[in-house]
A and B are shown apart, each in its own frame.
Chain A
Amino acid sequence: MKRLVSTFALAAALAGFGATGVMAAGTGAGPTDEDLLKSAGNTESVLTYGLGPQAQRFSPLTDLDTDSVKKLVPVWSFSFGGEKQRGQESQPIVYDGTIYVTGSYSRLYAVDAHTGEKKWEYNHRLPDGIMPCCDVVNRGAAIYKDKIYFATLDARLVALNRETGKVVWNKKLADYQAGYSNTAAPLIVDGKIITGNSGGEFGIIGMVEARDAETGELIWQRPTIEGNVGTLKGKDSTMTGKLNASWPGDMNKTGGGATWLGGTYDPETKTLFFGTGNPAPWNSHLRPGDNLYTSSTLAINPDDGEIKWHYQTTPHDGWDFDGVNEFVSFDLKKDGKVIKAGGKADRNGFFYVIDRTNGKLINASPFVSKITWAKGIDVESGRPIYVDENRPGAPATGGEHDAKGTSVFSAPAFLGAKNWMPMAYNPQTELFYVPANEWGMDIWNEPITYKKGAAYLGAGFTIKPLYDDYIGALRAVDPKTGKIVWEYKNGAPLWGGVLTTAGNLVFTGTPEGYLKAFDAKTGKELWKFQTGSGVVGSPVTWKMDGEQYVAVVSGWGGAVPLWGGDVAKKVKDINQGGSLWVFKLPKA
């Protein structure tokens, strides 16, 4: 008996030691609201999509710099497995020695950051009838407390226990059979998980929604199209805009404006920024008016979903320019003042600098070489100066019902001067690094009527590269002047996100399969690594065990091979894949 008692004492002591060890490793409660708000300065983890709620994609780490980056070496690579090798557009989340990364076809993996060993995998059972327009991608997960979250192609939001991978809850966001889907990383602010939606090609209504991150219960909804009514705590709240102010008849009920890229959050002004997609249908002659709030940036109060201000980049969009591009908050230092600004590289070819407290335009300048649809943006009114003859013509009426309208050659192409791939802002160089593409399109309108779950375009199109030697161009844009400071030209279109660091570096991937590093001041290419398939994901960096790490997913796909027209010959020989690559700078 005496012996048993002493064994018990030993066991208790060891159990206590074990608990302390767990706490020291930090696996306890997980990231808090405060941790997420301050995630931009956190070099030990990557807690948010965009490396901080403002999504500057800037890391203060300096171990890697313009000299040492040449010594960056791969540590391990993790395969997503299966035959589901489609576009991998994810940004990894890194926390407490685990990397959480999403894959094509609504898959989520937890991988040991040290070894690359899989901890668990969640493989969402997708219905046969999903309708993603632009490949079966996913752009990333969100982490909060003990859970990890991601949205799926059948328009559901899944919360999993981040240690075990067991599903905690699974909520329907929208009806996938009406064309809704979801590919963006969710955003978590003050215990709310905030999502947009996808499906702008199917005549859906764009929506921003907030749910309780613990339970998944809906808190508020904000439709992006005027005349539709939002909800707050289960009751109708306010109407978005004013009914029929900028939409004819009942076309606002199928008006598009999908918030398919998710949003960013500025803790200083306590404001959510969501870009809204193109109006539906593409044929603009069917919907005279500005078509608010499509092709816009909406500033939204995270508490109740009310719109604080909006800025419409392409009123009465007739080119599928969309306006969904991320709005990145930054401090604009100009004329001795610091202005709370935001930058947005729009699909329509202009780089906008906007006062983020009120939505007023500060300046707008082209970041691609050719823009045919507008001569410029009037800074006073904030509106484009249209080139009317570059709007594709109305389909012929009477007689030939299926006669297409006048075709025009327009630049940028509908895949955008910049598409989904997120840019980065470096507060040290005070430059934005924008992954741009130089292409145009023949576009014409066709008659169309709305049918649930069917493509609602009313347009035909084919994309053409503008130049023989390159389509992609990574450009450093000075937000003070709108000038392009340097550029890197790439043969295939750029389709991956950008990362910048205090080590004076810029990282991005190419469809040709390289992850590349550039000098942030000069654009000089310093390092590259061939990952085996096209890189269309967003790189991240963090520090672990005293060494700086870089991770990126590899796997060619996305909208270009599906919609790229003439661009196909530049990308047809790229092999598909699906893997996570991790690099580090070894200790000296």
Chain B
Amino acid sequence: MRMALLVAGMVGTLPLGVPAVAAPVPRQADPLGSVMWEAVRDQYFGDAPVVFDDAVRVIAPAAAEDTRAVPLAVDATALDGVVEMLAIADLNPFPLVLRYHPGTSAPAFATRIKVQQATAVRGAARTADGVWHVSGMLVDAAGGGCSAPPVSYAQKDWADHVGEVQARLWPAGQDGIARLRMRIRHPNDTGLVDGIPAYFIETLSVRAETAGGTPELARIDSLEPVSENPVYTLDVRPPPGATALILHGRDNQGGEIRATIPMPPTGAQPAMSRMRDPRRSIGQ
């Protein structure tokens, strides 16, 4: 039944000129040798073509110092036409960390994630032709990052500060790209700690305030593995005449996150323009 509908749907769309995927990409073996790769690929990429591609850079420590907040950066700026990005930690109870919709922004993000045990950590970028470009590295870790009680649970006043935003926007460089970093107070509970319900940020949207409206610059679908009090770094492209950036988000319990991020003060210098760290080569 479902198959029939799918076939019918393809018949309907083909004449509209949407490019069909050319030749099927053969399934490649996982360069990281992760036991979960096949399952992860089926779950998050389905039948879409997947290639392992060094053009996607994943930066993370070789060994996690704090399994509740492991820094992770994914940079796909070497690819053209990236429409969606994923971060995945194969052996986490919830492997998918977040989905990033870069919109007009550079296809790169950084955040901090929980890691339950030593695992392959991956970045993936889907280009307009429908192909997922995947890269990654192994992160060694002691156990428990997803199921250990969060630090905020011990803080009596977490509820007074939940949803508070600290953010900084650096001026755009010559390429028009401006570094945005934001930290949001939120327990980001996975629901795996006994007696603590799942309570995490689900959506974040960055818009520009301009005279002509508030166009969306980037959007994140954030999930359980993002660390408590999450930090996100994006390279956005504020349109000319933007007077501020607006962050609007929501958690899974309907809690609202709202912040207005001012444009950088005059005389401020652009941030380092590249996320990638030349001192670390990412293992394939």
* Interface residues of A, Cβ cutoff 8 Å to B: 4-5, 7-8, 10-12, 14-15, 82-84, 123-125, 127-129, 154, 158-159, 166-170
Contacts and interface: CB of A to CB of B under 8 A. Distances in A.
Nearest to A3: B7
A128 B155 CA distance: 9
Contact of B8 (A8, A123, A127, A166): A8
Nearest to A83: B195
B158 interface: yes
Given A83-B194, A125-B187, A125-B197, A158 B254 contact: yes
A128 B156 contact: yes
Contacts of A169: 254
B2 to A, nearest CB: 9
B159 A11 contact: no
B272 interface: no
B11 interface: yes
A158 B8 contact: no
Given A127-B158, A128-B156, A4 B197 contact: no
Interface string B97-124: 0000000000000000000000000000
Contacts of A159: 254
18 contacts: A5-B11, A8-B4, A8-B11, A11-B4, A12-B8, A82-B194, A123-B191, A123-B197, A124-B197, A125-B196, A125-B199, A128-B156, A129-B156, A158-B253, A159-B254, A167-B253, A169-B254, A170-B254
A4 B11 CA distance: 8
A168 B1 CA distance: 32
Contacts of A82: 194-195
Given A7-B7, A8-B11, A84 B195 contact: yes
B50 to A, nearest CB: 28
B61 interface: no
Nearest to B12: A8
A168 B254 contact: yes
Nearest to A4: B11
Given A4-B11, A8-B7, 12 more contacts: A5-B11, A7-B8, A82-B195, A123-B191, A124-B197, A124-B253, A127-B158, A127-B159, A128-B158, A129-B156, A166-B252, A169-B254
B45 to A, nearest CB: 24
A13 B252 CA distance: 37
Contact of B253 (A127, A129, A170): A170
Contacts of B224: none
B197 to A, nearest CB: 3
Contact of A154 (B11, B158, B159): B159
Interface of B: 1, 4-5, 7-8, 11, 156, 158-159, 187, 189, 191, 194-199, 252-255
Interface centre among A7, A83, A166 (most CB of B within 10 A): A7
A395 to B, nearest CB: 33
Contacts of B187: 125
Contact of A170 (B7, B8, B255): B255
Contacts of A8: 4, 7-8, 11
A10 B189 CA distance: 46
Given A83-B194, A129-B156, A10 B255 contact: no
B252 A167 contact: yes
B251 to A, nearest CB: 9
Nearest to A82: B195
Given A83-B195, A125-B197, A125-B199, A4 B254 contact: no
Contact of A15 (B5, B189, B191, B199): B5
Nearest to B10: A4
A154 B159 CA distance: 10
A127 B159 CA distance: 6
A interface: dominant SS = mixed
B79 to A, nearest CB: 33
A167 B194 CA distance: 22
A91 B158 CA distance: 32
A11 B198 contact: no
A10 B191 CA distance: 43
A552 to B, nearest CB: 25
Nearest to A216: B254
Most chain B Cβ neighbours within 10 Å, of A129, A167, A168: A167
B271 to A, nearest CB: 34
Nearest to A160: B254
B159 A123 contact: no
B7 A129 contact: no
Contacts of A168: 254
B14 to A, nearest CB: 11
Contacts of A4: 7-8, 11
B43 to A, nearest CB: 20
B254 to A, nearest CB: 3
B4 A10 contact: yes
B195 A125 contact: no
Contact of B159 (A15, A128, A170): A128
Q: What are the 5 closest A-B residue pairs judged by CB atoms, nearest first?
A: A170-B254, A127-B159, A123-B197, A167-B254, A125-B199
Contacts of B11: 4-5, 8
Given A82-B195, A169-B254, A14 B7 contact: no
B6 to A, nearest CB: 9
Given A125-B197, A167-B252, A11 B1 contact: yes
Contacts of B5: 11, 15
Contacts of B8: 4, 7-8, 11-12
Contacts of B253: 124-125, 158, 167, 170
Contacts of B199: 125
A168 B197 CA distance: 18
A200 B158 CA distance: 25
A123 B190 CA distance: 12
A574 B195 CA distance: 23
Nearest to B197: A123
Nearest to A84: B195
B281 to A, nearest CB: 42
A317 B187 CA distance: 44
A84 B255 CA distance: 23
Contacts of B158: 127-128
Contacts of B254: 158-159, 167-170
Contacts of B7: 4, 7-8
Contacts of A166: 252
A385 B252 CA distance: 54
A8 B254 CA distance: 40
Contact of B189 (A125, A128, A154): A125
A158 B253 CA distance: 8
A158 B197 CA distance: 15
Contacts of A84: 195
B158 to A, nearest CB: 7
A7 B12 CA distance: 13
A261 to B, nearest CB: 25
Nearest to B200: A125
A193 to B, nearest CB: 15
A136 B141 CA distance: 39
A432 B159 CA distance: 44
A124 to B, nearest CB: 7
Contacts of A15: 5
A14 B197 contact: no
Contact of B1 (A14, A129, A154, A158): A14
Contact of A129 (B159, B196, B252): B159
A170 B251 CA distance: 10
Contacts of B156: 128-129
Contacts of A11: 1, 4-5, 8
Nearest to B158: A127
